[in-house]
Amino acid sequence: MATLAELITENSKLSDVEAEHLSQLVAEWRLLADLSFADLILWLPIRRDEKSWPEGFVAIAQIRPTTAATVFSNDLIGTQINWGDRPRIDQALSDGEIIRDAEPELLGEVLIKDESIPVIFGGKSLAVISRHRNFNLMRSPSKLELNYREIARKMFQMVVDGNFPIRNSIYSSESAPRVGDGLIRLDTNGVVFFASPNARSALSRVGFENELEGKNLGEVFSNLSKAGNQPTDESWQTSLSGKFLRRVEYESAAAVIDLLVIPLTQKGDRIGAIVLLHNVTELRNRDRALVTKDATIKEIHHRVKNNLQTVSALLRLQSRRVSDPMASAALDEAVRRVASIALVHESLSNQSSELLEFDQVFEQIVKNALDLNPRKIKYKKIGDFGSFDSKTATALSLVVTELIHNAIEHGLSKSGDLLTVEIIKNGNDYKVSVSDNGVGLPDDFNIEKSANLGLQIANTLTKNELSGSIRLVRIDNLTKGEIIFKVN
């Protein structure tokens, strides 16, 4: 299916600014559909060029209300009609005025009443919104429905006046309050004219139990804020006056309310406002729980790193007091392995993500290995690792540490020898090779039978923790340690 931008480009000669206005309208017209209990279709006139008369219209966007049942079960986007097929749409585009009071028409078994609203921007009719409602549901409306419809009429007039959508993204985001969450209607002085049951329920959660209608909304929240000793950057009277588009949050000990203030205008004059409000207490509690969990995990990684460094220091002290060269060397290897694990936890304690950028850890592993080596070894890296979870990163850090130290200790015998690490990725499949141009392997070498503790560790970790395979081979003049594994 073609995108909105593609449909506009293929069927019209609108400027970028005009096309953006339609895109912004579609991003924000959920509010219009919910307030009017209606399905909305956006019809774009099909023109060969800017001056030609429209050949017809193409439906470029469609939305169904969340406050009422849809009247269209099928998707109409991409549907084309000829000029003259829908006279009210033609007239709305030509006259630049809303065409309403049409006789209901039968669609299947449902009587449908429609209106046509021109979308005007910069004095030009860009498109037409057709609004479709179930006529039977309009006969005995409740007070809530009457208020919603009246607000919808005023907002559709703002579309005609070119004042809707309002050029701001704070209420087009998915997290913004919706009509069904709660709605308050204000007059020009910021006094509550109507409040939906959900709006009154949300306010009762933060401690306001009195009748809301007839009260200044800014004063209501100012008094609530004073009672809770909560300072704000901007006074509640200003934020909730209805004069400005605002999105603010009020938090009490019991609940958190997200408020979105949308001014209503007519011919450029302010005629009131609506306030959408949503009780987001549970969402904020989950957010805080996630932040707390993240901070706790970071602190755990930090403490594990500190403990590992302490263990490493104790092993280093013990190594210096041991006279047996083999025992001292074994302790030094243990220090190196513990340090590799500590590097992983140090990096995890400094990141907000649960995934670890392994290349940073790897570079530190290589640096430590080369710094401890008395020979000046050349080093080359090909490719990048990317990000891994802590389990994979810990196992991989130990495996590559062993392969690098094995290459330095047994393969790179003189200054100027080259250590090469190559990472090849194919989706989630990895092949990591550590190679050197040193003395090579014995002819009968078998990693499964090797008595080298470091290689035994690398072999076991690769199989059990990485669910992969490892091999050491001689290819041409290179000794290559190769790990093959897959990340889920």
Averaged pLDDT, 208-214: 90
Q: What is the pLDDT of residue 233?
A: 45
87 cis-preceded (ω within 30 degrees of 0): no
Distance CA 139, CA 100 (A): 16
Confidence of residue 267 (pLDDT cuts 50, 70, 90): confident
What are the tens digits of pLDDT across the range 137-167? 766 788 899 999 999 999 999 999 999 988 7
**Residue owning tokens 């860009």:** 126
Q: Is residue 341 pLDDT above 80, yes or no? A: no
* DSSP characters over 94-113: HH-S-B--PPPEEETTEEEE
At position 339, the amino acid (one-letter code) is: A
Q: pLDDT, tens digit, for every residue of 25-65?
A: 999 999 999 999 999 999 999 988 877 889 999 999 999 99
For residue 273, list its beta bridge partners: 186, 263
Question: Tokens representing 284?
Answer: 């904020």
* Segment 293-328, tens digit of pLDDT: 666 666 776 677 777 778 777 777 887 777 787 877
The Cα-based distances of 201 to 183, 184, 205, 210, 216 in angstroms read: 11, 12, 7, 11, 18
Given a contact cutoff of 8 angstroms between Cβ atoms, the answer to whether 7 and 44 are in contact is yes
Q: Which helix (H) or strand (E) holds 425?
A: strand 418-426
Model confidence, pTM: 0.64
- Structure tokens given for 313: 């220091």
Mean pLDDT of 196-218: 92
pLDDT tier for residue 201 given thresholds of 50, 70 and 90:
very high
- pLDDT for residue 108 is more than 90: no
Q: Is the CB of residue 127 less than 8 Å from the CB of residue 43?
A: yes
Give the amino acid at 53: W
**In angstroms, rounded to a whole number, what is the distance separating the alpha carbons of residues 259 and 273?**
13
pLDDT at 459: 81
Listed ranges 94-103, 396-405, 429-438; the one with the highest mean pLDDT? 94-103
